[in-house]
């Protein structure tokens, strides 16, 4: 199963295609800023602003004491967009992990371009068997990842294991809505074969059973529907192919359908978007 998921994300010549697209867009590779990459590395619903807003809900800011010592795991980091964004915005140390080796190669290249190597690093690996010792991280970010994970109980157990006592799990996830089926392709799957959506109440029960305690929850479905409607309108006017700075660099021709399909799925209540912050007990 993991090989199918890996193949979905592992586009050929990804790093070279990104480099070409950046140059064609007039970007200087030696002076890149994280914001220069948002069109290709902030492809989750809501983009960069949604990540910043979510982290601010836990009072995570450069003014927080010892922020520079905070260790964050970006689980399912893709090409490292949220990892770089978190490091820049909040001044912490971030480790990104992803199953797709070509994502990790691109993440390392782009992080070198933004000169963030001292704050951000990456590893290739599985969320189901995290390559870290227990009690390693202060915070785990899981953003648009669990929809590819069939064994969510095992993933949640791994998150719990690597978090320090008192550490927080931050979720920004697509969940299953009341009306099925989901229309494919979508960013996380070209077909239902690697899509494992669950309703929020089932996922919440899995988290609680592991020992996580909820401190924040918000249903962002309405805003997500509006956001994808704007993406749909924009994509109708623009090319999304290879060498164009956009999601087509990663997902190829399927990317032309994402705006339409995601908007329809949200509008039909086939999928939902939730945010949640959960805490690992100090006694765990």
Q: What is the pLDDT of residue 75?
A: 98
Q: What is the pLDDT of residue 67?
A: 56
Tell me the β-bridge partners of 73.
95, 140
- The tens digit of pLDDT for each residue in 180-229 reads 999 999 999 999 999 999 999 999 999 999 999 999 999 999 999 999 99
- How distant, in Å, are the alpha carbons of 85, 156, 225, 259 from that of 237? 28, 40, 19, 12
Structural domains in the chain, CATH included, are 2-181+193-221+274-280 (3.40.50.150)
- The tens digit of pLDDT for each residue in 231-275 reads 988 877 665 555 578 899 999 889 999 999 999 999 999 999 999
Query: Cα-atom radius of gyration of the chain, to the nearest Å?
Result: 18
Strand bridging mode 93-98 / 71-75: parallel
Q: What is the pLDDT of residue 62?
A: 54
Query: What residue has token string 């996380």?
Result: 188
Q: Global pTM?
A: 0.94
């Amino acid at each position: 199963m993991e090989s199918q998921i890996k193949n979905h994300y592992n586009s050929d010549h990804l790093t070279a295609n990104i480099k070409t697209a950046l140059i064609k867009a007039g970007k200087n590779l030696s002076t890149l800023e994280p914001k220069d990459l948002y069109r290709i590395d902030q492809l989750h619903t809501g983009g960069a602003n949604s990540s910043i807003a979510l982290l601010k809900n836990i009072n995570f800011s450069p003014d927080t004491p010892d922020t520079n010592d905070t260790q964050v795991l970006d689980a399912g980091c893709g090409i490292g967009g949220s990892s770089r964004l978190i490091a820049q915005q909040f001044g912490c140390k971030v480790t990104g992990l992803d199953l797709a080796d070509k994502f990790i190669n691109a993440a390392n290249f782009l992080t070198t371009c933004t000169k963030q190597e001292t704050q951000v690093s990456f590893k290739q690996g599985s969320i189901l068997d995290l390559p870290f010792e227990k009690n390693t991280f202060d915070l785990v970010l899981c953003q648009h990842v669990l929809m590819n994970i069939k064994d969510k109980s095992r993933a949640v157990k791994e998150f719990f294991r690597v978090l320090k006592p008192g550490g927080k799990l931050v979720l920004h996830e697509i969940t299953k809505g009341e009306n099925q089926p989901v229309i494919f392709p979508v960013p996380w799957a070209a077909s239902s074969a690697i899509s494992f959506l669950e309703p929020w109440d089932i996922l919440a029960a899995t988290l609680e059973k592991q020992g996580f305690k909820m401190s924040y929850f918000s249903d962002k479905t309405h805003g997500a529907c509006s956001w994808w409607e704007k993406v749909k309108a924009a994509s109708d006017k623009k090319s999304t192919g290879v060498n164009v700075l956009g999601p087509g660099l990663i997902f190829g021709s399927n990317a032309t359908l994402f705006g339409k399909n995601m908007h329809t799925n949200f509008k039909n209540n086939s999928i939902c978007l939730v945010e949640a912050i959960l805490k690992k007990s100090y006694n765990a």
